[in-house]
Structure 1
């Protein structure tokens, strides 16, 4: 069987804001409007999408020349009510170990808190299998880990 591209989808209240947040976390960019349009507002206006429906979805793409999944954000009426069964691990300290690793993760946690994330807890290395990570939440409460 041939491998397939994937898209990661977030249900959320504010697709535009959450897309901007995750672009900052992942080094992605908001998906540009279709050819022939200078902005998404211009495209949506020409398609007669009512103003109140224009923040119904957004998407984030990896930077040019980099492979990775598209991340899609769609507005839903209900809020988050339980722990995620699936979460992203953001590789913020690849190859680092011990104090160097945890210092890098702490620095990234502080940076992300500055743009709306919330730090939930830190799990320190145990000298065995656990290398350490930090559990975070995005501005809408979706859990992810800095790994």
Structure 2
């Protein structure tokens, strides 16, 4: 039986990085505000465990995005399909990523994709030329995590 999974990415500012990747991938930022409000009202969640981001209450140090076509729990907002969870950690990023995301453009639109990602806060690192197989860019998201755009 196949397992359910999510990719967890350590960050210094989970909501900001979730916003970047949601825009980059055309995903949706999960909205746990109904669950957060319910837990606060029941006294099961302290107020200092909550932050307001873009007018919604969310769990401090966490933010997730999901594919817009995948199912999700309407109470918790948690996606039940393709999903990235961003969690704050105390240490800065160090070293090269051992796992990264590849973002694929439609044929002939790589330049437009690169421009859109840069407008969102990504930076180019280097171009990889594979000759007849094409080329792609190694880039960094706003926190310095490497990813490829092809």
Task: Give the TM-score category using the shorter length.
Answer: 0.7 to 0.9
Preserved contact between residue 5 and residue 69 of structure 1 (Cα < 8 Å) = no
C-alpha deviation, 1:68, in angstroms: 4.9
- 1:122 Cα deviation from its structure 2 partner: 1.6
Q: Which residue in the other structure is 2:89 paired with?
A: 76
What does residue range 133-144 of structure 1 map to in structure 2 within 5 Å?
133-144=136-147
Preserved contact between residue 33 and residue 43 of structure 1 (Cα < 8 Å): no
CA displacement, residues 101-127 of structure 1 (integer Å, 9 cap, x when unaligned):
xxx212111111111111111223412
Change (3 A) 1:140 1:24: same
Match of 1:48 in 2: 46
User: Which residue number in structure 2 is paired with residue 106 of structure 1?
Assistant: 111
* Distance 1:135-1:30 versus aligned 2 partners, 3 A rule: same
| CA pair 44-56 structure 1, distance change in 2 beyond 3 A | farther
Q: What is the TM-score when the length of structure 2 is the normalising length?
A: 0.76
Kindly indicate which of the two structures has a greater share of residues assigned to strand. 2
- Unpaired runs of 5+ residues, structure 1, are none
Contact preservation (8 Å) 2:9, 2:85: yes
Please give the alpha-carbon distance, in whole angstroms, between the structure 2 residues aligned to 1:138 and 1:43: 34
SS of corresponding position for 1:50: helix
Superposition deviation, residue 49 in structure 1:
3.6
Aligned length: 132
Worse overlay, 116-125 or 74-83: 116-125
- Identify if the C-alpha distance between structure 1 residues 120 and 52 changes in structure 2 by more than 3 Å, giving closer, same or farther: same
* Counterpart in the other structure of 1:24: 23
Give the 3 Å change call, closer, same or farther, for CA 124–61 of structure 1 in structure 2: same
Unaligned runs of 5+ in 2: 52-58, 72-79
